[in-house]
Amino acid sequence: MRIGIAGIAGRMGRLLVEEVAAAGATLAGGTMRPGSTKVPPGGVTILPDPVALFAVADVVIDFTHADEAVPHAALAASSRRGLVLGSSGLNAQQERAVADAGRTAPIVYAANFAPGVNLVLALAERMGAALPGAQYDAEIVEMHHRQKVDAPSGTAIAMGRAVAKGRGITMEEAGIESGRDGHTGARKAGAIGFAALRGGQVVGEHTLLFASATEHIALTHRSFDRRAYATGAVRAALWLQGRGPGLYGMRDVLGM
């Protein structure tokens, strides 16, 4: 399989280069942000633009930026190539566009590619089903490095959606409480709360807390190395080989 990497000179891009080699796949090349002064990994082919990248790759892995998700998904659809999309911070319109592209191309889109996180998301759904919102308040606390531009994180939002799904509703129907400040009034029963912390170089920490009048249950995942995301993304790229069009998740890749 020929794997292309968008943003190949970034932190994730460099890890992906190593993981593609470790998996025995062929690195088709990569792209860099126009005007970037970063030095790409040695021995890799730098393509002039995403169009050229999709032309030479069977699957493209993209961890660049939410604004690139829709054009990259459109290129996957027009070229009938696979796409592994790990960019976070997509809005509802962007997610719909990615889903539309999945009707024509095989796409794996996930908030997080670490296997442990996806197990936590599965558990969050089961806990949401077992712990009703009328009695158990769901709060999600996440912390990331100071450079992260979106909040709450994509993984935190995925946790909230998993809890809501377990309760048979959407996260929007449950209600969202985020960024509380000042006199906010009493907490709404059944709402899902978010708190985002930023500082230092924390790779990623997420805690889902269910709090009732009689007990607290906490489910925590900590990432210590971004390599877990790169390994999972390459695993997803290899899984796409021979797949038909569709919008898949990491839980599909893991067989969960």
CB neighbour list of residue 243: distance below 8 Å, 6 or more residues apart: 82, 106
Q: Are strands 137-144 and 204-211 parallel, antiparallel or unpaired?
A: antiparallel
For the stretch 119-125, contacts whose Cβ atoms lie closer than 8 Å and that sit 24 or more positions apart, written own/partner, are 119/256, 120/159, 120/206, 120/208, 120/219, 120/221, 121/158, 121/159, 121/162, 121/251, 122/162, 122/251, 122/256, 123/219, 124/159, 124/162, 124/163, 124/166, 124/208, 124/219, 125/162, 125/163, 125/165, 125/166
Q: Which residues belong to the active site?
A: 144, 148
Distance CA 101, CA 74 (A): 6
Q: DSSP label at 170?
A: -
